[in-house]
Amino acid sequence: MTEHVTVSRDGEIAIVTLDNPPVNALSFHLREPLGKALEALRDDEAVRGVVIACAGATFIAGADITEFNTPKATASPNLRELIVLLESFEKPTVAAIHGTAFGGGLELAMGCHFRVADRNARFGLPEVKLGLLPGAGGTLRLPRLIGPLKALTVIVSGNPIGARDALAEGLVEAVYDDSLVANAVAFAREQADKATALVPVSRREDKIAEAKNDLDTFDAGVAALLKKKRGLDAPRLCAQSVRNGLTMPFDEALAQERAYFVELVEGEQSRAQRHLFFAEREAAKVPGVGKEVEPREVRRAGVIGAGTMGGGIAMSFLNGGIPVTILEMDREALDRGIARMDGNYAISVKRGSLTEEAKAKRMGLLTGTTDYADLADCDLIIEAVFEEMAIKKEVFGKLDAVAKPGAILASNTSYLDVDEIAASTSRPSDVVGLHFFSPANIMRLLEIVRGRKTAPDVLKTALAVARKIAKVPVVVGVCHGFVGNRMLASRSAELEDLLLEGATPEQVDKVFTDFGWPMGPFAMGDLAGLDIGWRNRKSLGKTAAIADALCEQGRFGQKTGKGFYIYEAGSRTPTPDPEVAALIEEKAREKGVNRRDISAEEIAERTMYPMINEGAKILQEGIASRASDVDIVWVNGYGFPIGKGGPMFWAESEGLGKIVERLEHWHGRTGKAVFEPAELLREAADSGSLAAARKGKAA
C-alpha cells in the first residue's frame, strides 16, 4: 500500500483504489505499486475477486503524457505488463469506472474480465488526438468487445461514448445510478460464485468473427472513416492495427501495435499534437486572472443581430443549454434570422446528428425581440451587428441604458478597437471582445479580447462560458484584427503580386494543400465570397487589381459559379479558368510586371514566413501572451494542420534562423514591411525558441 495505491477488503473481494490526482494518469509512481498489489492479490487464495476503482473525479484518464519520451514511460511494470498480469487472474477482475476511462485507462479496464460503470461515465481512446494509437492493446481488445468497425470509429475519432452506449455495445456489463464501488463488489462476488470459465478479452473471438471472414466490408468501412484524415499518420496506423487484429494471431498483432506506437510517439506529428494538448490547457491560464478570481454567473445570454454571426453565436449558447434572447432591428429581420437557425437545426436532424426532441428543446430556449428592454435580465450580451464603429457605439449606448448592473457587454467585432467601444459606455470594465469564427456554431475558436479596462472576473467568466459552450478560448489584446485576422492579412499580403509575377491561383493553392491546409487562399476566397473583401477594400479606399476586376465582372466565387476558378453547375470543385489566366496576364502587362516561373518554395516563403513574422510582432507587443496561444488560434480558427502544431511551433522546427534569413532576402528585394523581421524573431533565431525570447523580453 502506498499513497497512490491502497488495497482494502470487503469479505473475499479485494478493492484496489488508485489515487493519482488530478486525473489518475498511469504514471510510473502509480504503476509500480499497482503491479505489486496485483501480484499479491493474484496469489492470495483468500481473495476470490478483485475490483479496481479510482479515487477523485475520474477513473484513469490514460498514460501519463508528461512521461512520454522519458525512461519512466517504459519502466517496468509498463502498462502492457500490467494488463498481461490482469489477464492471468483466475478469479474475476472488475473495473469500476466513474468519470472518464480514457486511453491507457480504458486499456487497463479491458484487461479486466468485467467493466461496470457509473451512469455518467465516459469511455474513449483519444490517443489519435495526440497523434498516437492506443499502445497497450486498445486497437485489439476494443474490437473484441464491440466489433471492429464500431471500435475503429471510436479510435479514429478519439471521441468518447457514454455509459448507456457502452452498455448497449457490450463494452461494460452493468451501469449503476449510485454506489459504484459497492455495486462493483457485489458484481465481483456474483461472478466468483458462478462456475463459468473466465475468458480474457484477448481470447474472445465472437465479435470479430464476421469481419475476419469479410475483410472487404471492413476495408470499405475503413476507407470511409479515413477520408477526412488525410496527411495524418496516426489514424492510418490505428486502422492498420485494428485490421492486424483480424488477420494475425493476437500476440503478433500486439507486438505490431507496439511498433506503430513507438514510431508515432517519436514522430513530428505526435510531438506537434501533444504540444497542442498542453497549449490548449495553458491558454486557459491568463496572466492577472488567478485562481482566486470568481467568475460571474451566466444564466441567460443576449445576442444583438441575427445575421450570419449572431445566429451562429446564439446556437452555440442554445447547444450549451444557456437560454438566449436575440434582438434584431425589425420583426422581418428577426423572423428571417430565427428561421435560418431553425433551418440549420433541421439539417442536423435530417443528417441524424440531432433528434427532433433535442432540436425542439434548443429552439425552446430562444426568445426573439426587437425591444432593448427585453435584454434587462441577460447576464452576458454579445453584439454582432454590422462592422461599423458608429453603429457599434450606438448599440453599446443602448445596452448601457438597459443592461443590469454586472452584466457583461461583449462585441463580436473582427477588427474594431474594443477600448473605443468600451469607452462609449459608463462601464468599460464590463466590456470585452468575444470574437467568434464563422460558422460560429461549428468553429471552436473564441478570441477573448481583453480591453485596457476589462475586469479580471469578466475574463474569468468569458473563459468559463467558452468551456460551457464547447469553445477553445484564447485571451488576446486589442489591435487591428487581433491575433488571427492580423496574421491572416500578412499571409495574404503577397498573393496578388505572386499572381502578377507569374504564379497561378491553382499553383498557389497547391502549395497550401500540400502543406496540409484544407484549402488554398484562392479556393477559400471563392468559398467565402470575393465580394466581402471587395466591399471592405472599397470602404478603406484600397484596391487589389485582380480581385477587384473579378468582382467587377460579377465573379464573386462559388455563389456565382465563377471567381478565381470556375465551378460547374452545382459543383464545389474549382476548375482553373483560362479567362482568369488571361486577366492576370493583362493586369501584369498594365502594371509593367515581367512574368517568370515562380517556385513552390518562393510561394511558401512569401506567404507563410510573413505570417510567422506577424506572429512574432504580436508576441513582442504582448497581444498574445505565449507563442502556444498563437498556435491554438490558428489550429482552431483557420485550419492550420494539426500535425504541424500551429504556425509558431512549426516555425521553430522549420528553423527560425532560416526564416529570418529568407525574410531579410525578400525585404532587401522588395522593401515591403511584411518582410522586415520582427526584433523578437531575430532574437529567437539565436536560441531557436520563441518562448525563451519572449520570456527574456518580459523579464
Q: Quick one: what does residue 310 bind among ligand NAI, ligand 3HC, none, with the CB cut-off 5 to 8 Å set by partner type? A: ligand NAI
23 binds, among ligand 3HC, ligand NAI, none (CB under 5 to 8 A by kind): ligand 3HC
Specify whether 107 is catalytic: yes
Instruction: Report d(CA 90, CA 107) in Å as an integer.
Output: 19
438 binds, among ligand 3HC, ligand NAI, none (CB under 5 to 8 A by kind): ligand NAI
Any contact of residue 79 with ligand 3HC (CB under 6 A)?
Answer: yes
DSSP state of 599: -
Q: Which is nearer to ligand 3HC, 107 or 683 (CB)?
A: 107
Angle between helix 690-698 and 627-637 (nearest 10)? 130
The verdict on 138 binding ligand 3HC (CB under 6 A) reads yes
Piece of 100-108, 168-176, 306-314, 601-609 that binds ligand 3HC (CB under 6 A): 100-108
Stretch that binds ligand NAI, among 216-224, 277-285, 433-441, 687-695 (CB under 6 A): 433-441
Of 273, 412, 454, 490, the one binding ligand NAI (CB under 6 A) is: 412
- From start to end of 103-160, where are the E strands? 114-118, 122-124
Beta bridge partners of 49: 13
Which residue in 49, 134, 310, 312 binds ligand 3HC (CB under 6 A)?
134
Which residues have a Cβ under 8 Å from the Cβ of 41 and sit 6 or more positions away?
7, 14, 16, 47, 50
- Contact present, 65 and 25 (Cβ < 8 Å): yes
- Measured CA to CA, the distance from residue 148 to residue 221 in angstroms comes to 10
Q: What is the DSSP string of 149-204?
A: HHHHHHHHH---EEHHHHHHHTS-SEEESS-HHHHHHHHHHHHHH--SPP--GGG-
Residue 186 phi/psi, 5-degree rounding, is -60, -40
Question: Which CB, 62 or 337, lies closer to ligand NAI?
Answer: 337
Q: How far apart are CA 173 and CA 94, in angstroms?
A: 10
The window from 42-50, 156-164, 430-438, 638-646 that contacts ligand NAI (CB under 6 A) reads 430-438
625 binds ligand NAI (CB under 6 A): no
Contact call for residue 103 and ligand 3HC (CB under 6 A): yes
Out of 87, 107, 328, 683, the active site residue is 107
Site track 309-328 with ligand NAI (rule: CB under 6 A), x = hit: xx----------------xx
φ and ψ at 433, to 5 degrees? Answer: -90, 135
- CA-wise closest residue to 609 among 653, 652, 662: 662
Which one of ligand NAI, ligand 3HC, none interacts with residue 307, CB within 5 to 8 A by kind?
ligand NAI
From the CB of residue 386, how many other CB atoms can be counted at a distance below 10 Å? 10
Secondary structure class of 576 (helix, strand, coil): strand
Q: Which is nearer to ligand NAI, 438 or 539 (CB)?
A: 438
Tell me which residue has its CB nearest to ligand NAI. 307
104 binds, among ligand NAI, ligand 3HC, none (CB under 5 to 8 A by kind): ligand 3HC
Chosen from ligand NAI, ligand 3HC, none, partner binding at 8 (C-beta under 5 to 8 Å by type): none
CA-based angle 650:654:657, to the nearest 5? Answer: 120
- Interface residue with ligand NAI among 414, 490, 625, 628 (CB under 6 A) is 414
Task: State yes or no: residue 153 binds ligand NAI (CB under 6 A).
Answer: no
By the rule CB under 6 A, 111 interacts with ligand 3HC: no
- The yes or no reply on residue 563 touching ligand NAI (CB under 6 A) is no
Clarify whether 67 is annotated catalytic.
Answer: no
Cα–Cα distance list, 443 to 136, 187, 598, 639 (Å): 33, 44, 34, 10
- Show the cell assigned to 170: 457490450
Q: Which of 130, 309, 611, 616 binds ligand 3HC (CB under 6 A)?
A: 130
CB of 29 to ligand 3HC, least distance (A): 13
Binding mask 289-308 for ligand 3HC (x = CB under 6 A): --------------------
CB of 71 to ligand 3HC, least distance (A): 16
Instruction: Give whole-number Cα distances, 450 to 40, 459, 482, in Å.
Output: 56, 7, 10
- Dihedral angle computed from the Cα positions of residues 636, 637, 640 and 642, in that order, rounded to the nearest 10 degrees: 10
- 22's contact among ligand 3HC, ligand NAI, none, with CB below 5 to 8 A by partner kind, is ligand 3HC
Piece of 58-66, 241-249, 427-435, 658-666 that binds ligand 3HC (CB under 6 A):
58-66
Q: Which of 220, 391, 401, 673 binds ligand NAI (CB under 6 A)?
A: 391
Catalytic residue (choose from 12, 87, 127, 676): 127
Which H or E run contains 435? strand 431-436
What's the CA angle centered on 266, arms 261 and 271, to 5 degrees? Answer: 105
Q: Which is nearer to ligand NAI, 133 or 475 (CB)?
A: 475
Site string for ligand 3HC, 319-338 (x = CB under 6 A): --------------------
Name residues whose C-beta falls within 8 Å of residue 383's C-beta, 6 or more positions apart in sequence: 304, 305, 392, 395, 396, 399, 409, 410, 411, 412, 413
Place of cell 501480484: 39
**How far is Cα of residue 689 from the mean position of the Cα atoms in its chain?**
24
Q: Which of 333, 358, 527, 692 binds ligand NAI (CB under 6 A)?
A: 333
134 binds, among ligand 3HC, ligand NAI, none (CB under 5 to 8 A by kind): ligand 3HC
Task: Determine the Cα–Cα distance for residues 95 and 82; give it in Å rounded to an integer.
Answer: 14
Cα 168 from Cα 25, distance rounded (Å):
27
d(CA 647, CA 276): 11
Return the number of the residue (161 or 384) whose C-beta is nearest ligand NAI.
384
Q: Which residues pair with 302 in a beta bridge?
A: 325, 381
Q: Which does 563 bind (CB under 5 to 8 A by kind): ligand NAI, ligand 3HC, none?
A: none
Residue 126 contacts which entry, ligand 3HC, ligand NAI, none (Cβ below 5-8 A, type-dependent): ligand 3HC
Q: Residue from 33, 92, 104, 368 that binds ligand 3HC (CB under 6 A)? A: 104
Q: Which stretch binds ligand NAI (CB under 6 A): 29-37, 86-94, 436-444, 539-547?
A: 436-444
DSSP class of residue 118 equals E
Distance CA 116, CA 184 (A): 7
- Identify whether the C-beta of residue 298 lies closer than 8 Å to the C-beta of residue 465: yes
Binder among 225, 265, 286, 395 for ligand NAI (CB under 6 A): 395
Position 115, amino acid:
R
Contact range with ligand NAI by CB under 6 A, out of 99-107, 302-310, 450-458, 650-658: 302-310
Catalytic residue numbers, as ranges: 107, 127
Interface contacts to ligand 3HC, rule CB under 6 A: 22-23, 25, 58, 61-66, 79, 100, 102-104, 107, 126-127, 130, 132, 134-136, 138, 281
Give the interface with ligand NAI as residue ranges (CB under 6 A). 304-310, 327-329, 333, 337, 384-387, 391, 395, 412-414, 436-438
